[in-house]
Amino acid sequence: MQRLKTRPQFQAALAGATVARTAHFALHRCALGAAPESGVALFDAPDVWLGAMVPKRWARRAVTRNAIKRQIYVLGAAHAGELPQAAHVVRLRAAFDRKEFVSASSDRLKTAVRLELAQLFARSRAPAPPAASPAPKAAP
């Protein structure tokens, strides 16, 4: 598993489809062959690429942001064999309730993050639900 490091790599992965969501996280995926307009290869090896975005807006303290990122990379490495060779970004999209998780980096918070990330990676493997067909119109 490779880690995303540059801004263009993150932008390319975020431009891809959102393949899974949970209450707090979203997983974005972009095929490695999707080349930017500049023609520069962003991903030099065909592998699973993973990046973590934990905005300050949703996790105010650096301790919390770093703990969440560590959990993302640990679980990402554990599930790397199940993910396709593509660029993936796990993005925190909502804050964890500060009333429930008082400490900035508690074992309870890490466990909650780990369980939700496991759900996220499991949902990314599940086949997409079939598109609902429009209901037939009634004759007037």
Identify the H or E element spanning 91.
strand 86-92
* pLDDT reading at 42 higher than 60: yes
105-116 pLDDT, tens per residue? 888 999 999 999
Residue 90: inside a domain: yes
- Start-to-end Cα distance in the chain: 59
Asked if residue 136 belongs to a domain, the reply is no
**Does the residue 140 lie in any domain?**
no
Q: Is 133 among the domain residues?
A: no
In a domain, 8, yes or no: yes
Q: Is residue 47 part of a domain?
A: yes
Q: Residue 104 belongs to what domain range?
A: 2-35+42-125
pLDDT digits (tens, 9 = 90+) for 80-97: 888 889 999 999 999 998
Mean pLDDT of the chain: 84
Confidence (pLDDT) at 31: 86
What total number of domains does the chain contain?
Answer: 1
Single pTM value for the model: 0.81
Domain with residue 22: its CATH number is 3.30.230.10
Q: What mean pLDDT comes out for the span 118-127?
A: 83
